[in-house]
C-alpha cells in the first residue's frame, strides 16, 4: 500500500482555500498511485479555531467541506481532520475528529481521546473526549488512527489515565497514523521525535505522522512530518517551515533492508530564525497585507526586526522610519542608515524634537515645576509611537513592534510608545538570543552593521543613558527570567542556584507588577516553551512576589 503525507499550510476559517488545497493533493496523490493520503489535525477548519467553534455555522461549513472533499475520494482514500458534532445526550457539543474517506463518502470517524488543556492548548473547552476505539480496515491493512496528543501519554509523568494505543493495539493493527497540530518551540522538535520513537518501539509498529506547517497569528507550526519503522528509526522526514508532500510504499517501511536516511541537524538559532520569518510572512499574507513599517533606532532589536521582516516580505516592503531625538547619538542614525542600505530598504528620517517640545509646553503648566523624569522620557517614546501609527494609518502598513522578551518581562518599555504595533516579532526572544540571531543573519556577510551588535544597548531617552543603568547584565537577567518564566522556578530555588537574593526579588517583582503592560501588547510570535500571551495566564491584580 502506498501512503501519501500532505503537510499543508491552512488558514483558519478559509474553507474554500483549505478545501481546494486538500482536493488538489488528493488528485495529485491518485495520479502518483497512492492508495491513501493523510492530512493533519483540524485541516478543514485550520488550527486552532478557538471560539469559532461556538458558532454552528462554522462547524456546519466544516461538514459541507468534508462532503465536498469526499466526492474526490473514489479511487483513493483520505484521512482529514475536522470538528464534528457530538450526537450523544451528554458532554461537550463537539469532537476533534479524523474522517476516513473512500468510495466518495465518509466511511468512518475517529475522535480524539486526549484533549490537552495546558499552555496554549484549550481543547477541553470545546471538545468531548473519545471513549470508543476501533482500527480502520483498508486494503488488507489495519490502521490505528490517532490524533496528536493521543500518542503523548507515554512520557515518564503521564497527564492522562488512559492511553489510546493500549486500546487499539489489542485489535492487531499493522501501522499507526497520527495527524497533528504540534506548534513549534525551540525544544519541541527533539521532544516530539522522542515521543514518536517511544510509540513505534513500544507498539512495534511503523508510524506515519503528519503535522501542520505555517503560522496562525502567534502560533508557529514547523511541519517536520515523518515516517518511522517499527524500531523507531526515522525512514524519512518532510521539510520544516514549508509545505511538503511525499508518497511512501509500506513495504519499504516494514522491510528488513538498511535504512539509509540521515537526519539533518539545524541549530536552535537557525530554527528560531526560520520560524520568525515564516511567522511574519504568514501573518501578513493571511491578513491580506504586504507592507510593514517600523521605527529603526540604531539598536539591535529594531535592526533584527527589520532584517527578519525584509527576508519575510521583501526589502522593498519594509519601510523604516528613523526618529532621532536630541539624545540620539550620531552613530545610531548612521548605523540605521547603513542597515537600510545594506538591505536596500526604504527609509526616512523624522526628527521628534518639535513634537516633544509641543507636548512638554502643553503640559508644563500642569506638571507643577516638578523635576524632569520618567514622564518626559515617555513623551519621547510616545511621540515616536504617534508618528509611526499615523504613517501606518495613512498608508495601510502594519507596524512591527521591536521589543524583546527581556524588556517585555521587566516592563522596560513605554505603553502607547515603543510597545505599539500590530505584531511583536521578537517579543518571545530574549536579548541574548537577539544577539545570536543577529550573528546568524550575518553568517554569510555583514547585513546588520557590526557596531549595532557590539555597542552597549541604550534607550537614548536621557543623556548618556544605558540599559545597564536600570537592568543587570542581560546574560544574568535572561537566565533568571528563563528559570522563572519557562522553568517556573520560585525565588528560593533561584537563590539556591546561586543568584543574589536582592536581585532575584527585584526581577521577579518587576515581572509580576508589569503584567498590565503585557496585557496590552500586540501578539508575540511564539518560539519558546512559555511565551507571553495566550499560553501564560497571570492575574494583573495580584500580590504574589509583587
| Same-domain check for residues 248 and 373 | no
| The domain boundary residue, chosen from 235, 257, 279 | 257
Task: Evaluate whether residue 54 is within a structural domain.
Answer: yes
3-state secondary structure of 63: helix
Burial classification of residue 247, based on how many CB atoms lie within 10 Å of its CB (0-12 exposed, 13-18 middle, 19 or more buried): middle
Please check whether residue 522 is in contact with residue 531, taking contact to mean a CB–CB distance below 8 angstroms. Answer: no
| The domain boundary residue, chosen from 227, 257, 287 | 257
* Reported confidence tier of residue 264, pLDDT bands at 50, 70, 90: confident
Segment 168-172 shows an average pLDDT of 97
Task: Evaluate whether residue 520 is within a structural domain.
Answer: no
- Using DSSP bridges, classify how beta strands 318-322 and 213-216 pair: parallel, antiparallel or unpaired: unpaired
| Per-residue pLDDT at 259 exceeds 70 | no
Q: How many Å separate Cα 484 from the centre of its chain?
A: 21
Segment 64-84 shows an average pLDDT of 98
pLDDT of residue 467: 65
* Reported confidence tier of residue 255, pLDDT bands at 50, 70, 90: low
| Per-residue pLDDT at 13 exceeds 60 | yes
| Same-domain check for residues 237 and 298 | no
| Same-domain check for residues 220 and 301 | no
| Same-domain check for residues 219 and 314 | no
| Same-domain check for residues 206 and 299 | no
| Per-residue pLDDT at 331 exceeds 80 | yes
| The domain boundary residue, chosen from 471, 492, 516 | 471
148 is catalytic: yes
DSSP letter (8 states) at residue 370:
P
Question: Which of the pair, 328 or 86, is modelled with greater confidence?
Answer: 86
- pTM for this predicted structure: 0.95
| Same-domain check for residues 115 and 142 | yes
| Same-domain check for residues 222 and 287 | no
Provide the number of structural domains found in the chain.
2
Sequence-separated (6 or more) residues with CB below 8 Å from residue 23: 68, 69, 72
| Same-domain check for residues 275 and 240 | no
Backbone angles phi, psi at 237, to 5 degrees: -140, 135
**Maximum CA extent, the chain:** 86
Segment 79-85 shows an average pLDDT of 98
Residue 543: which of 518, 519, 515 has the closest Cα?
515
| Same-domain check for residues 306 and 455 | yes
Q: What is the CATH number of the domain that holds 373?
A: 3.40.50.620
**pLDDT over 90, % of the chain:** 90
Segment 442-465 shows an average pLDDT of 84
3-state secondary structure of 450: helix
pLDDT of residue 519: 95
DSSP letter (8 states) at residue 130:
P
The one catalytic residue among 2, 112, 431, 517: 112
Q: How many CA atoms lie within 13 A of 73 on its CB side?
A: 24
pLDDT of residue 330: 72
pLDDT of residue 67: 98
* Reported confidence tier of residue 465, pLDDT bands at 50, 70, 90: low
Question: For residue range 379-438, what is the model confidence (pLDDT) as tens digits?
Answer: 999 999 999 999 999 999 999 999 999 999 999 999 999 999 999 999 999 999 999 999
- What is the strand order of the sheet 423-424 is part of? 347-349, 318-322, 292-295, 398-401, 423-424
pLDDT of residue 256: 54
The one catalytic residue among 30, 41, 123, 460: 41
Distance CA 497, CA 504 (A): 11
pLDDT of residue 457: 73
- Using DSSP bridges, classify how beta strands 423-424 and 398-401 pair: parallel, antiparallel or unpaired: parallel
Distance CA 355, CA 353 (A): 5
Segment 198-215 shows an average pLDDT of 97
Distance CA 310, CA 297 (A): 16
| Same-domain check for residues 34 and 58 | yes
pLDDT of residue 310: 98
Distance CA 43, CA 9 (A): 9
Task: Evaluate whether residue 479 is within a structural domain.
Answer: no
Residue 12: which of 94, 73, 115, 82 has the closest Cα?
82
CA of 398: how far to CAs of 268, 283, 320, 424, in Å? 28, 10, 12, 11
* Reported confidence tier of residue 156, pLDDT bands at 50, 70, 90: confident
Of 147-161, 168-182, 226-240, the poorest mean pLDDT is in 147-161
Please give the full DSSP string across 288-327, using - where no structure is assigned: T---EEEE--SSHHHHHHHHHHHHHH-GGGEEEEE---TT
| Per-residue pLDDT at 509 exceeds 60 | yes
Distance CA 505, CA 500 (A): 9
Sequence-separated (6 or more) residues with CB below 8 Å from residue 265: none
Q: What is the CATH number of the domain that holds 114?
A: 3.60.110.10
112 is catalytic: yes
Question: For residue range 275-315, what is the model confidence (pLDDT) as tens digits?
Answer: 999 999 999 999 999 999 999 999 999 999 999 999 999 99
Distance CA 175, CA 144 (A): 6
Residue 215: which of 281, 148, 311, 267 has the closest Cα?
281
Distance CA 93, CA 128 (A): 7
Q: Which domain holds residue 35?
A: 2-257
pLDDT of residue 461: 65
Distance CA 349, CA 336 (A): 10
pLDDT of residue 546: 66
Of 159-163, 174-178, 269-273, the poorest mean pLDDT is in 159-163
Distance CA 327, CA 231 (A): 63
Mean residue pLDDT across the chain? 95
Task: Evaluate whether residue 10 is within a structural domain.
Answer: yes
| Same-domain check for residues 289 and 212 | no
Q: How many Å separate Cα 343 from the centre of its chain?
A: 26
Task: Evaluate whether residue 102 is within a structural domain.
Answer: yes
Task: Evaluate whether residue 266 is within a structural domain.
Answer: no
3-state secondary structure of 498: coil
Task: Evaluate whether residue 297 is within a structural domain.
Answer: yes
Sequence-separated (6 or more) residues with CB below 8 Å from residue 138: 1, 35, 36, 77, 100, 102
Q: How many Å separate Cα 312 from the centre of its chain?
A: 15
**pLDDT over 70, % of the chain:** 97
Q: For the chain, how are helix, strand and coil distributed in percent, rounded to 5?
A: 40, 20, 40
**In 128-266, which ranges are E strands?**
136-138, 141-147, 175-179, 207-210, 213-216, 219-222, 226-228, 234-237, 244-249
Amino acid at each position: 500500500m502506498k501512503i501519501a503525507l500532505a503537510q499543508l499550510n491552512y488558514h483558519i476559517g478559509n474553507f474554500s482555500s483549505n478545501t481546494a488545497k486538500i482536493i488538489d493533493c488528493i488528485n495529485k496523490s491518485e495520479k502518483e498511485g497512492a492508495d491513501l493520503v493523510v492530512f493533519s489535525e483540524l485541516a478543514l477548519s485550520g488550527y486552532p479555531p478557538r471560539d469559532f467553534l461556538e458558532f454552528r455555522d462554522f462547524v456546519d461549513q466544516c461538514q459541507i467541506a468534508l462532503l465536498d472533499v469526499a466526492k474526490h475520494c473514489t479511487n483513493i482514500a483520505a484521512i482529514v481532520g475536522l470538528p464534528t458534532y457530538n450526537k450523544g445526550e451528554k458532554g461537550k457539543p463537539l469532537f476533534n475528529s479524523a474522517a476516513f474517506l473512500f468510495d466518495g463518502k465518509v466511511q468512518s470517524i475517529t475522535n480524539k481521546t486526549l484533549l490537552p488543556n495546558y499552555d496554549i492548548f484549550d481543547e477541553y473547552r470545546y471538545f468531548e473526549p473519545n471513549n470508543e476505539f476501533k482500527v480502520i480496515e483498508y486494503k488488507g491493512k489495519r490502521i490505528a488512527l490517532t490524533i496528536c496528543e493521543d500518542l503523548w501519554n507515554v512520557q515518564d509523568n503521564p497527564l492522562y489515565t488512559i492511553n489510546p494505543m493500549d486500546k487499539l493495539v489489542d485489535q492487531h493493527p499493522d501501522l499507526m497514523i497520527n495527524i497533528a497540530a504540534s506548534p513549534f518551540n525551540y525544544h519541541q522538535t527533539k521532544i516530539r521525535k522522542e515521543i514518536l520513537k517511544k510509540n513505534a518501539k513500544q507498539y512495534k509498529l511503523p508510524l506515519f505522522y503528519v503535522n501542520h506547517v505555517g503560522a496562525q497569528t502567534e502560533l508557529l507550526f514547523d511541519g517536520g512530518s515523518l515516517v518511522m519503522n517499527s524500531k523507531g528509526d526515522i525512514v524519512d522526514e518532510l521539510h520544516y517551515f514549508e509545505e511538503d508532500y511525499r508518497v511512501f510504499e509500506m513495504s519499504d517501511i516494514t522491510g528488513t533492508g538498511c535504512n539509509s536516511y540521515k537526519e539533518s541537524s539545524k541549530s536552535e538559532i537557525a530554527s528560531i530564525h526560520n520560524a520568525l520569518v515564516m511567522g511574519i510572512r504568514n501573518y501578513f499574507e493571511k491578513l491580506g497585507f504586504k507592507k510593514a513599517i517600523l521605527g529603526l533606532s540604531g539598536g539591535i532589536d529594531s535592526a533584527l526586526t527589520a532584517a527578519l521582516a525584509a527576508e519575510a516580505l521583501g526589502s522593498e516592503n519594509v519601510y523604516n522610519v528613523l526618529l532621532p531625538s536630541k539624545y540620539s547619538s550620531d552613530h545610531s542614525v548612521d548605523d540605521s542608515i547603513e542597515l537600510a542600505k545594506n538591505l536596500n530598504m526604504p527609509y526616512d528620517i523624522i526628527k521628534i524634537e518639535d513634537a516633544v517640545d509641543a507636548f512638554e509646553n502643553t503640559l508644563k503648566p500642569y506638571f507643577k515645576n516638578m523635576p524632569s523624569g520618567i514622564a518626559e522620557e515617555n513623551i519621547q517614546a510616545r511621540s515616536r509611537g504617534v508618528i509611526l501609527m499615523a504613517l501606518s494609518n495613512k498608508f495601510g502598513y502594519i507596524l512591527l513592534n521591536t521589543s524583546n522578551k527581556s524588556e517585555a518581562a521587566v516592563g522596560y518599555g513605554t505603553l502607547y510608545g515603543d510597545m505599539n504595533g500590530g505584531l511583536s516579532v521578537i517579543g518571545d526572544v530574549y536579548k541574548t538570543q537577539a544577539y545570536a540571531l543577529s550573528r546568524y543573519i550575518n553568517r554569510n556577510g555583514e547585513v546588520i552593521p557590526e557596531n549595532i551588535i557590539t555597542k552597549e544597548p541604550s534607550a537614548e531617552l536621557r543623556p548618556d543613558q544605558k540599559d545597564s543603568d536600570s537592568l543587570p547584565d542581560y546574560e544574568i537577567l535572561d537566565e533568571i527570567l528563563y528559570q522563572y518564566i519557562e522553568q517556573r522556578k520560585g525565588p528560593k530555588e533561584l537563590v539556591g542556584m546561586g543568584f543574589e537574593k536582592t536581585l532575584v526579588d527585584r526581577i521577579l517583582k518587576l515581572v509580576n507588577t508589569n503584567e498590565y503592560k503585557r496585557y496590552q501588547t500586540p501578539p508575540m510570535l511564539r518560539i519558546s516553551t512559555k511565551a507571553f500571551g495566550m499560553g501564560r495566564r497571570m492575574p494583573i491584580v495580584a500580590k504574589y512576589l509583587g
